[in-house]
Amino acid sequence: MRKTYFTPGPAELFPTVEQHYRDAFDLQLGSISHRSAQFRKIYQHTVEQLRTLMNIPESSGIFFTGSATEIWERIIQNTVEFESFHLVNGSFSKKFYDFSSELGKFAHKYEKPFGEGFDYAEIQVPQYSELICTTANETSSGVQMRPAEIHKLKRGNKDKFVAVDMVSSAPYPDLDFELIDTAFFSVQKSFGMPAGLGCWIANPSMLDKAKSLKKNDGIIGTYHTLPSLWKNFEKFETPETPNVMGIYVLGKVAEDMNKIGIETIRKETERKAKMLYDFATKCDYLDIFVQNPEHRSQTVVVVNTVGKPAAEIIDAVKTSDNMVIGSGYGDFKATQLRIANFAAVNIEQVESLIEVMKKL
């Protein structure tokens, strides 16, 4: 019996994904050379559709990696000589911070408790940090940082790079890619694809910094340095043999999303999020976890369970109606639920989930 996944990643597949993979097999894309005109057209199409969908300027490069986790590493290697600064409020923003230390950099952090978010006014950026790492959506706690706050952070720190982790929110946040320097996501969240592909957007000043670090004998990596990725990107190629089918399907899903329209997707996301938060407010056994409404994620709704163990709710929903909702992250596994509100689930599916949960 087919399940509907409201898990925050991997998540429900976007409705067209399986057919796009079938088409990819019919086109024998698993066998084509990544140095062929056929592959270059695929890469170009995916780039064009993503530019339209997320309003990414022509000047920015768009690259592919094995995962978004890899991109944390690559951003630090390529843009930080000595110091980075991280806004930490959950497990994933913490890992980005940890990576910087592991790569031998001096990593500063401004940390808030799990469930709290950041606004520009309160952030003090350490003077010598070269890179500011923000998280548009902290998947572990369901906290968002609004694009307006991220934009203020860049305007107030024009001499520093601003990186935005959009892993569990892209393409929802309306980020100004003329302003921020770099952002990234993985395909198994809001794009509703099988995992195994990260997507990295970076502007030319990031490339310049990487080149200058390398020139001064810095170690910035090998095949996935920005100079290597960018040189290949200019001809729509990749340094290594990439996940060709994933790149093809991402372009097709972005094209499908462009047909729906990003404004429609954003409005539906907000409408579904409101339905879920409203239900949690009324429901006896649920409480909204994130107190500040402006910090509440629109794509991953996190709720506390009251008087019922989270596992009991998860099991009941799965057993009765084949719907899969996520447990809380780490220490919150027993007492929280995470409900993904990605583009792959529609309003009717969210309504069904709410109906099922009402009956518990």
Residues that bind a second copy (CB under 8 A): 2-3, 5, 7, 9-13, 17-18, 21, 24-25, 28-34, 65-70, 72-73, 98-99, 102-104, 186, 188, 193-197, 219, 221-224, 239-246, 324, 326
Q: Is the peptide bond before 173 cis (omega within 30 degrees of 0)?
A: no
Q: CB of 65: closest distance to a second copy in angstroms?
A: 6
Q: Which of 147, 326 has the CB closer to a second copy?
A: 326
Q: How many CB atoms lie within 10 A of CB 102?
A: 12
Q: Is the peptide bond before 171 cis (omega within 30 degrees of 0)?
A: yes
β-strands 300-305, 323-327: how paired?
Answer: unpaired
Sign (positive or negative) of CA dihedral 16, 18, 24, 25: negative
Quick one: DSSP state of residue 222?
Answer: S
Q: CB of 221: closest distance to a second copy in angstroms?
A: 7
Q: How many CB atoms lie within 10 A of CB 132?
A: 26
Q: Which of 132, 344 has the CB closer to a second copy?
A: 344
Q: CB of 10: closest distance to a second copy in angstroms?
A: 5
| Type of residue numbered 280 | A
Q: Which of 77, 134 has the CB closer to a second copy?
A: 77
Helix ranges (H only) for 147-233 are: 147-155, 204-215, 226-233
Q: Which of 153, 244 has the CB closer to a second copy?
A: 244
Q: Which of 30, 113 has the CB closer to a second copy?
A: 30
Q: CB of 219: closest distance to a second copy in angstroms?
A: 5
- First-last CA distance in the chain: 21
Q: CB of 13: closest distance to a second copy in angstroms?
A: 5
The answer to whether the beta carbons of residues 181 and 161 sit under 8 Å apart is yes
Interatomic CA distance for residues 312 and 95, integer angstroms: 30
Q: Which of 280, 314 has the CB closer to a second copy?
A: 314
Q: CB of 55: closest distance to a second copy in angstroms?
A: 26
Burial of 80 (0-12, 13-18, 19+ CB in 10 A): buried
Q: Which of 120, 230 has the CB closer to a second copy?
A: 230
Q: Which of 99, 177 has the CB closer to a second copy?
A: 99
Sign (positive or negative) of CA dihedral 166, 95, 249, 226: positive
Distances (CA, A) of 335 to 300, 306, 338: 16, 8, 10
Among 28, 19, 71, CA closest to 226: 71
Q: CB of 351: closest distance to a second copy in angstroms?
A: 20
Q: CB of 174: closest distance to a second copy in angstroms?
A: 25
Say which residues have a Cβ less than 8 Å from residue 350's Cβ, sequence separation at least 6: 272, 275, 276, 341
Q: Which of 118, 329 has the CB closer to a second copy?
A: 329
| Type of residue numbered 263 | E
Q: CB of 341: closest distance to a second copy in angstroms?
A: 15
